[in-house]
Amino acid sequence: MDKPTRRIGVLTGGGDCPGLNAVIRAVTKDAIHHGMDVLGIEDGFLGLIEDRIRPLEERDVSNILTTGGTILGSSNKANPANMAVGRDTNGNVVHKDLTEACLITLESHGIDTLVVIGGDGTMTCAAPFVERGIRAVGVPKTIDNDLWGTDMTFGHMTAVEIATEALDRVHTTAASHHRAMVVEVMGRNAGWIALSAGVASGSDVILLPEMPFDIDAVCEHVAQRSTKGKRFTIVCCSEGAYPKGGAQIVERTDPTSPDPIRLGGIAKWVSGQIEDMTGVESRHVVLGHVQRGGTPCAFDRMLATLFGDAAMELILQQKYSRLVAWQGGRITDVPMLEAADKQRLVPPDEPLIAAARSVSTCFGD
């Protein structure tokens, strides 16, 4: 058996997410209780690259359970194995493998185990370290709920609550002005936020990336509602949704990022099509980063604390290269490497889809 962990390094990678601080708090307090040192790595893997490490004591993590974001900072551009370091004379982005620099940082601070908190991109960034023998444990975080191997990630339910409240609020203005309101929510290629918030808000149409939609079917549903005296329509639209035979709408690309595609604009397109094809006045709303911010909901505080505790249990049992997971309503773990560079998408037989159809929700198919 390996020597027990004495010094833990904690980092939060990828986009910020409600509940990150709850995990940091749980890991730090539990580790200190077991006589371990805890070091916070600032701004995700960028802190390893730039050697920005600081000790975490109990006073550092007190009263952060309800605070959104992360006290350590994060970065969704720092992939040590393929880090953007500048541009060449032609203006092209130059990438470099800085894994060795990170390994030197870990060694210089005596960090013998990493707790990596993040989604599929963060686990992909962690993979080279695991392959090099660095002891690591992963904690699943993403508002998109699209990480392979776990039924639920913390941060997701907070995003769903925020999106649902927004849909509830546009409901009243849509009814007052007899409009179609199209609300665009986050999720990238996974429609979990749109599906959950759409059902919770009673949206009339839900558009998911996993189910390319027929815009004629959407407009027909809007028109039928009008003929039945329902003079408004609420559409919950995932940012990654796209029409049959078409493609996702890309707002812009960022070549310095490991995930360069920035989706956005589908709600505006759908809104315009509805107005042109039905004559029903339409508006669109893009929630954007509002879904990522603010205090985590009660469920995410509990789940994040459970995940932090489970990560420490894996470390105490010397079960490394594992990702904490939630399956079938219970805590378990799966191999970290299997979760790297994968996405958990909404399956066609998802019960929530069937439930939505039973109350006449249109998916544009």
Contact yes or no for 181/337 (Cβ under 8 A): no
174 and 268, same domain (yes or no): yes
Per-residue pLDDT of the chain (365 residues), as tens digits, is 578 899 999 999 988 899 999 999 999 999 999 999 999 999 999 999 999 999 999 999 999 999 999 999 998 888 999 988 889 888 888 989 999 999 999 999 999 999 999 998 899 999 999 999 999 999 999 999 999 999 999 999 999 999 999 999 999 999 888 999 999 999 999 999 999 999 999 999 999 999 999 999 999 999 999 888 788 999 999 999 999 999 999 988 888 777 778 889 999 999 999 999 999 999 999 999 999 989 999 999 999 999 999 999 999 999 999 999 999 999 999 999 998 878 999 999 999 999 999 999 999 99
Helix 120-131 and helix 99-108: axis angle, to 10°? 70
Residues of the domain holding 176? 158-292
DSSP-derived secondary structure letter, 188:
T
Q: What is the pLDDT of residue 255?
A: 82
SS3 content of the chain, % helix, strand, coil (to 5): 40, 20, 40
270 and 191, same domain (yes or no): yes
Taking alpha carbons only, the member of 340, 219, 224 closest to residue 276 is 219
Where is the domain boundary, 234, 263, 292? 292
225 and 310, same domain (yes or no): no
CA distances from 340 to 10, 23, 148, 202, 320 (A): 18, 20, 8, 34, 15
Quote the tokens at residue 262.
């920035």
Q: Cβ of 99: how many Cβ atoms within 10 Å?
A: 22
Taking alpha carbons only, the member of 281, 167, 137 closest to residue 234 is 167
Amino acid identity at 62 = S
11 and 149, same domain (yes or no): yes
16 and 107, same domain (yes or no): yes
Q: Could you give the 3-state DSSP secondary structure of residue 322?
A: strand
**Residues in contact with 229: Cβ distance below 8 Å, sequence separation at least 6, in sequence order:** none
At 34, phi and psi to the nearest 5?
-95, 15
Quickly tell me which residue has 């990336």 as its tokens: 209
pTM for the model stands at 0.94
140 and 168, same domain (yes or no): no
User: Rounded CA gap, 149 and 140, in Å?
Assistant: 9
Number of structural domains in the chain: 2
Quickly tell me which residue has 């929510």 as its tokens: 185
Catalytically active residues are 144
- Dihedral sign, CA of 196, 212, 260, 183? negative
Q: What is the pLDDT of residue 1?
A: 56
11 and 134, same domain (yes or no): yes
Contact yes or no for 207/237 (Cβ under 8 A): yes
| CATH number of 272's domain | 3.40.50.460
**Residues in contact with 119: Cβ distance below 8 Å, sequence separation at least 6, in sequence order:** 13, 14, 15, 140, 141, 142, 144, 146, 147, 153
Q: Does residue 348 sit within a domain?
A: no
Radius of gyration for the chain, computed over Cα atoms and rounded to the nearest angstrom = 22
81 and 190, same domain (yes or no): no
User: Rounded CA gap, 209 and 102, in Å?
Assistant: 36
DSSP-derived secondary structure letter, 243:
B
Contact yes or no for 244/236 (Cβ under 8 A): no
| CATH number of 306's domain | 3.40.50.450
Q: Does residue 172 sit within a domain?
A: yes
Q: Does residue 129 sit within a domain?
A: yes
